[in-house]
Structure 1
Amino acid sequence: MARLKRGSRGGGSRLAAIVILAPVFVLIAALGTRTGLWSHEIGYDLLAMRVGAGLAAFGAVAALMMLIYALRLRASPWLAAVVIAVSAATIGAYAWQVSRIMSGPPDDISTDVAEIPGFGALDARRGAAGSGETGGVDACPGAVPAMTQVAPASAVWALQESGFSLQGGVTVARVAGTHRGFWFGTVHDAVIRIRPGRTDVRVAARDGRPHGGEA
């Protein structure tokens, strides 16, 4: 009997290891992408959203087995509670991420869709990323122009306060910047176009893929 209990406890530990495998795997995928160890397509699309999602589903099965073990007094109820909480949080995070990507606006937003601001010198770095749909106020209620000629210093301040680093020179007509995400290193470019009586802003992901309305 003592041997059976020890074996059951060991099985609970193995189930717990399976449950935490998905979040640990996603963390490794994110850091590898962020540091340039592999591409965004490999780190995010393949490792995080496909392999990681499979591991999360496998972890949910392991969490259910852990619950059964706990109900039969073959595993610690506290460990079972932690395992179930981690599994639920992991599945919930995946569901939230998929829903925001599917329902979010395009990751190219401009306050002027009739005459969309260009990114200037950043266009060369963006490549073909600007060939997709550019959304406006219909996609993002906050995407409205400032009906005034903003001072360049104010535009610089606004970009820097939003976490963008300045790119290129500052002129009376244009200020541009780049923001790099923490986890997967997703790059967003922003440009503030200044004209008499109107200032427009455009923000777009450099990779041209959806990011749940992050722009």
Structure 2
Amino acid sequence: MPTRKPVPAVLPWLTALAAAPLVLIVAAVAATRFGGADLAVAYDLLTWTVARILAWIGLAGALIAAILALRDLKGRGLYALAAVALAGATVAGFVWRQGRDAAPAPQDVTTNVQEPPVFSRAAALHRGSTPASCDAVVAVPSQVLAQQAASALVDAGFVVNRASTFEVEAAHQGAWFGFVNDAVVRIRPGRTDIRVAARDARPDGGAACRLAARIAGGLSQTR
């Protein structure tokens, strides 16, 4: 009866190396959301510098694990599979997000570039910003109710912080590193305009446009 070959001691370490970037990213997110860590440390340094480098090192380690597993797939295959899956997913995530951030995307968008809605509560955070248009996000050609605007904002994931008869303002905090986007819905006879602007200057992968589209979609359903 053939004996199973022992698992090389390096295989568990290679699998742990493949998982290390994900663990570091989760720790960076937790440090930002619950520990108040600065984004320059948690996002720029730990995630986009250290974890990204570790991701490629982990992928190289996963390939070594796969080669070692070829000699005994039954005994070593799970280690190799886990290492390749973890490292591949991490590297793919970084490449995908990097490509998304590289695409030009305005971080201050509005449905009315000639006369954009003006922030009140968050005015100081967006002073000097020039709003741009966003594809597929257009003004609502009717006067909605303030309650409908507030409801559309809440449905889009925003928290309303100011509401009046003709204007509603809100803020949206991202689920991962807590990047904040401010929104204002301006209500006028025959037209309702939207503006969404990011507080942070880092590339957002088109988040401002996607959030504006969510608001516009919610408002269009109230007509």
Deviations along 1:166-213, one digit per CA (max 9) or x if unpaired, are: 112x21211000111111011111100111111100111111322100
Once the 2 structures are TM-superposed, how far is the Cα of residue 14 of structure 1 from its aligned partner?
A: 0.6
Verify: 1:165 aligned to 2:129, yes or no.
no
How many Å separate the matches in 2 of 1:94 and 1:82? 18
Secondary structure at 1:179 match in 2? strand
Rounded to whole Å, the distance in 1 between the matches of 2:143 and 2:123 is: 24
> Considering only aligned residues, what root-mean-square deviation do their CA atoms show, in Å?
1.7
Contact 1:107 1:209 in 2 (8 A): no
Identity across the alignment (%): 36
Stretches of structure 1 lacking an aligned partner (at least 5 in a row): none
Matched length: 203
Q: Cα offset for 1:89?
A: 0.6
Q: Deviations over 1:105-143 (max 9, x none)?
A: 12221111111211111223x2xx45345220xxx3222
Secondary structure at the counterpart of residue 115 of structure 1:
coil
Counterpart of 2:186?
193
C-alpha change, 1:21 and 1:37, in structure 2 (3 Å) is same
Q: CA deviation at 1:37?
A: 2.9
Q: TM-score, normalised by structure 2?
A: 0.85
Indicate how the Cα distance of structure 1 residues 154 and 84 shifts in structure 2: closer, same or farther if over 3 A, else same. same
Match of 2:148 among 154, 158, 178: 154
What residue identity is the alignment partner of 2:157? G
Match for 1:95: what amino acid?
V
Task: Determine whether 1:59 maps to 2:52.
Answer: no
Aligned partners of 1:23, 1:132: CA distance in 2, in Å? 35
Q: Is the 8 A contact 1:132 1:208 kept in 2?
A: no
In structure 2, C-alpha distance between the alignment counterparts of 1:208 and 1:199, rounded to whole Å: 27
State the distance in 1 between where 2:144 and 2:127 align: 25
- In the alignment, is the contact (CA less than 8 A) between 1:151 and 1:172 conserved in 2? yes
Matches within 5 A, 1:203-214: 203-214=196-207
Alignment of 1:96-107 (within 5 A): 96-107=96-107
- Report the counterpart of residue 49 of structure 2 in structure 1: 50
2:135 pairs with 1:141: yes
2:18 aligns to what? Answer: 19
**Are 2:112 and 1:112 aligned?**
yes
> Partners in 1 of 2:178 and 2:57 — Cα distance?
27
